[in-house]
Chain A
Amino acid sequence: MPREIITVQVGQCGNQIGCRFWEMALNEHAAYNAKARYDEALSSFFQNVDARRDPPVNVPVGDPIRALKARAVVVDMEEGVTNELLTGPMRDVFDSKQFITGQSGSGNNWACGSHHYGPMYRESLLEQVRRPVEEADSLQSFMLLHSLGGGTGSGLGSYLLAALADEYPDVYRFSVSVFPSDDDDVVTSPYNAMLSCAALAEHADCVLPVENQALMDIVQSIEAKSKNASPFGGRSGGVLSGSSLSGVDGGDVAGRAGHGGKPWDGMNGIAANLLLNLTAGMRFDGALNVDINEITMNLVPFPRLHFLLSSMSPVVTPADRGMTVPAPRTLDQIFSEVFSTDRQLASVDPRRNTYMACALLMRGAVNISDANRNVERLKRGLKMAHWVSDGFKVGLCDRAPVNSLYSATCLANNCAMQKPLSAICERFHKLRRKKVFLHHYTEYMDVEDIDGAAASIGSLAEEYARVDASRAPDAVPSIAPLGFR
C-alpha cells in the first residue's frame, strides 16, 4: 500500500532539480529492486501504469513494472526547460499532460508570477494537482521544488503553495527552496526572495533552504580534492556535455557550461540527493522509521520557525553521474561532518547558534548504539535551547544510498537561520529605500503588501534571535500534587 509524495516543480530551477531528482530516484530504486516488481518503496514517488490502454490503467503494488510515471506536477512559464524534460532521458516518466507551461515567462518578477499568472492559471494548476492526488491512496505530502530568485519559481510557486494550503490543508507541504546568493545575476532577486520567503513562512509546513553559494562551495571543494577533475565538475566530459540539463538558478540565467564555470549539474544533484535521503525513511524499512510528518512534529517547536538547515555526508552519491566521489569515511566521521560548516547546504555555521531541534537521518549499516554514542559525543559541542535537553531525533533506514555503506542527513532547526533571513531583508530594503524596480511590482500588487511581507520576514528573524538569546528562567511553574490520598 503506497504512501505517496507528490512533487511540484515550478520554474526553471525547480524543474532542473526535479529532473536530476527523478533520475537519481530511478537509479536508487533500480539498485534495490532486483525483481522489477512495482513495490511499496517505488510507489511513493511513482505510479505504475499500463500505457497500452487508453486512458492508461494503474497497475497495483506487487505486479511487474509496466511503465513508471512520476507523481509530479511540472510548471513553468517558459517552454525551454520543460521541453528539454520531454525530449531528455527522463521523458518516459513524464507525461505532457502533467505539464503547465506559459509562453512568455514571468520576467523575474515575483508579483507577475504570483498575482498575474497565479489567478490566470489557478484552475488548470489545481486540476493538474487534483489528478495525482486522486490517484494516491494515502497522500503524505507535497514537495515543492523552486528557487526564490526568479519570477516563476518564486512567484507562481508561492501562489501554488497558498492554493495547496487552501485545498488540501491536511497534506504536509514541504519545500526545497533555492535561496539566491549575494552576487545573484537577477537584479530583482532581493524583492523576489523576500516576497517568496514571506509566503513560505505563511503557507509551508517545512522549508529546507538551499543556498546556491553553499552548493557551489561544496562542489568546488570536492572537485579541488579530486586529482583528475576538470573545472566543470565532470571527469568524463562526455557525460556532462551530453546532458541537456544545466542551470540551478531561476530566471533567465542560462547555466550552460561556460557560464562562469558554475558546476550546475553537481549542484542540482546535491539538492536532489537531499530529497532522496529525506524520504528514504518512509520508502524503505528500518529499525527506526522517520516519516515525513514526524519531521514537522519533532523539528518545529513554534509554528513560524519551520526553516530547517540541512547538511549531508557524503554529499553526493557515487552513482550520481558527473560527480567525483569523495573518499570513503568512517561512521564517526560522517556524524561529525554533518555538523561542520562545509557540509551545510546553506551558508551558515549552526554551531555558533542555538539548536532548537535536530534530526539525524541515517541510512545503511548504522544501528541505534552507533547513533546514540555519536549524539552523546557531538552534543557537547552544540548549544541547545534551554528548554530542550534532548533535542535529537534519530532515524535509521536499512538502505544506504546506492554503492555506499552509510550516509547521514542532518536537519536542524537552528537560530542561525536568522542570518539568511535578515540578509534577504537587508538586500530588499537597500532597493526599496531608493524605490528601485518598485514600479514593476506595484503594477500587480499594493505597496502595502510588499512592506507587510518585509515586516513579517523581519519579525521572523527577530523571533529566531529571541530564541537564540533566551536563557533558562530561575523557576518554572509546576503543578502541586493533591497529596497523599
Chain B
Amino acid sequence: MPGSVVTVQLGQCGNQVGCELFDTLAREAAASSPSVRDEIHEAFFRSGDGAARPSSSSSSSSSPTARAVLIDMEPKVIASSLKRARRSSHRWRYDANSALAFQSGSGNNWARGYNTYGGLVRDEALELVRREAERCDHLGGFLLTQSLAGGTGAGLGAFVAEAIRDEHRGATILNHCVWPYESGEVIVQCYNTLLTLSTLLNVSDGVCVVQNEQLHRACVGALKIKRPTFDDMNGVAATQLAGVLLPSVARGVTPAGGAGCGRKLMLLHDVSRGACCDPTMRLLSLRSVPMMPQTSVDFTTFAWPGLIKRARQMLLTGTTLEEGLDWGVEPGGDGGGRVVTRCLAAMAFLRGKGAEDADVGALSDPRLFPTWTPSPLSVSHSGARFCGYDASLTLLSNCQSACPPIGRMLARAYQMKHAGAYLHQYAEHGVGEGEFDEAFGRVEDVLAAYRAM
C-alpha cells in the first residue's frame, strides 16, 4: 500500500505548480499499465463520484479527482486551475468544493498573509484538509506547494503548514517551495523568503527548494525553449517532483539488500525518512536526468551508467542543471579550489528498463557523505517509463546546494533591515524587530549546520 498524499496548493505559484503536477501524474497514469495506473490513482486521485457532491455535473463525475486543497487569497488563479484541469487531455479534475478563495490578495506582505489572514482562514482551510484526508484509505502525508517569496503562498502558506502540523501531529509534511527569480518578482522577497524558511524549517519534515533561475535555465538549455513562460518552468518543477512521487519499489544499496528492501515505497513517510534524517537539516534539492524536448526522445539512447555518472557530478558540483557540468570536481579533497557539495543523505529514483539492476555504486560513494550519516543513499526503482524516457533518474538530496542562495538572501535582508526599509509594512501586521531577529537566528543556525558538514 503506497499511501495517499493530500496536496495543498497555496497562492498563485503553488496553485500553478500543483496543477502542473497533477497533470503530469495524470499523464503518466494514462501511459502506464493498469496496475500502475491504479496505484497512481490511489495515491493522488480519488474516484470522481464523491458522495459529498451529488449535484455535480454527471458528465465529468467519472474522471478522477485530485486529492488536493486549493487555497489562494485571490479567486482568479483558482478559477484558472479548475478550468485548466477540466480541459486537460489527461482526464482529471479538481473538486471545486475543495477550493478556498478570498477576495483580497496578501499583497506580497508575508506578515499580512501569516498574521492577518492566517487566523481568518485557519478553520476553513483545516476543515477542507481534514475532509480530503478522511477520504484517503491510508493517509501518507501532506504535500504543500507554495512560493517562498510572495504574500499568500509564503505567509499564509507558512501559517497553514503550522496549522496542519498542529492538527495532524504524526503526519509527514513535505513542502515544495519555489525560490523566485533573484530579481524581478517581488522586491521584498528577501524578507518574505527569510520568514517562510524560518517557519517551515520548524514544522515541516522536508523543505524542497526549487529555484526559478535554475528552472529557467533548464528550460532554455535542456528543453530548448527560447523564451520560457511560467508554465514551462512549472512543467520542469512538476516533472522533478513526479519523479519522486510516482510509485516505486525500495531496494538496498548493497547487493544483500537492507530492511524494507523490495517493498513498495511508502509516500511520503519513506521520502522524509530517507532524505531528512537530521531534525535541524531539512533542506532538499531535486535533480532529474535526462531532460530533453519530446521530439528528441526517439533519437536518444539511454544508458544507466551515463545517467548515474551525470547525476553524481550534478550532486558534487551542487547544480541542478545537466548542462555545463564541471567534470573536474572530485569528491574527497578540496576540489582544487572548487566547491565540492557535501550531502547529508540522498534518494535516487530509477525509472525505466533495467532500473532494477542498474549499478548505483557511483552515487553511494562514501566520500560524498559525512561519515556519521546513518543512511547515506536510498534507492528505489520502477520498471515503468517516465516521460517517455527509456531510463530516467530523479535525485532527491539533502545537501549543501541550497546554501548559497540562502546566504545571498540573508545578506540582502540584513542590508535592507539595516536601512530600515519596508519594516513599517511588516510591523503593521505584527512582525516586528523581534520576529525578524528570531527568523534570522533560526536560518543562520540551519546554514551553520550545513556548512559544518
Residues of A within 8 A of B (CB): 1, 3, 40, 137-138, 140, 285, 287-289, 291, 293-294, 296-303, 356-357, 367-372, 375-376, 379, 385-394, 470, 472-473, 476-485
Contacts and interface: CB of A to CB of B under 8 A. Distances in A.
B425 A297 contact: yes
B33 interface: no
Q: Which A-B residue pairs are the 6 nearest by beta carbons?
A: A138-B103, A293-B107, A481-B448, A301-B421, A390-B183, A387-B419
Given A137-B103, A367-B227, A298 B188 contact: yes
Nearest to B408: A389
Given A297-B109, A385-B419, A480-B444, A289 B188 contact: no
A391 B419 CA distance: 14
B75 interface: yes
Contacts of B302: none
B182 interface: yes
Given A293-B105, A298-B186, A393-B185, 13 more contacts: A288-B230, A291-B74, A291-B104, A291-B105, A293-B107, A297-B108, A298-B188, A368-B181, A375-B183, A379-B183, A389-B412, A481-B447, A482-B448
A298 B104 contact: no
Contacts of A303: 424
Nearest to A470: B419
Given A387-B418, A390-B189, A482 B441 contact: yes
Nearest to A140: B104
21 contacts: A288-B230, A291-B104, A294-B108, A297-B107, A297-B422, A298-B186, A302-B420, A356-B421, A368-B230, A372-B181, A385-B419, A385-B421, A387-B419, A390-B183, A390-B184, A390-B189, A476-B411, A477-B418, A478-B410, A478-B444, A479-B441
A293 B184 CA distance: 17
Interface residues of B, number: 54
A387 B187 CA distance: 11
Nearest to B226: A369
Contact of B187 (A40, A140, A299, A473): A299
B444 A296 contact: no
Nearest to B75: A1
A444 to B, nearest CB: 33
A297 B441 CA distance: 25
A473 B419 CA distance: 9
B231 to A, nearest CB: 8
Contacts of A299: 187
Nearest to B73: A291
A372 B186 contact: no
Contacts of B425: 296-297, 300
B339 interface: no
Contacts of A289: 12, 74, 76-77, 105
Contacts of B171: none
Interface string B96-109: 00000101110111
Nearest to A379: B183
A395 to B, nearest CB: 10
B224 to A, nearest CB: 13
B36 interface: no
A294 B441 contact: no
Contacts of B449: 484-485
A296 B109 CA distance: 10
Interface string B421-432: 110110000000
B416 interface: yes
B24 to A, nearest CB: 19
B229 A369 contact: yes
A237 to B, nearest CB: 43
A138 B73 CA distance: 12
A371 B184 contact: yes
A485 B280 contact: yes
A285 B83 CA distance: 13
B416 to A, nearest CB: 5
Given A369-B227, A369-B229, A3 B108 contact: no
A439 B449 CA distance: 70
A369 B151 CA distance: 23
B107 A296 contact: yes
B260 to A, nearest CB: 29
Contacts of B107: 291, 293-294, 296-297
A390 B441 CA distance: 23
A146 B190 CA distance: 36
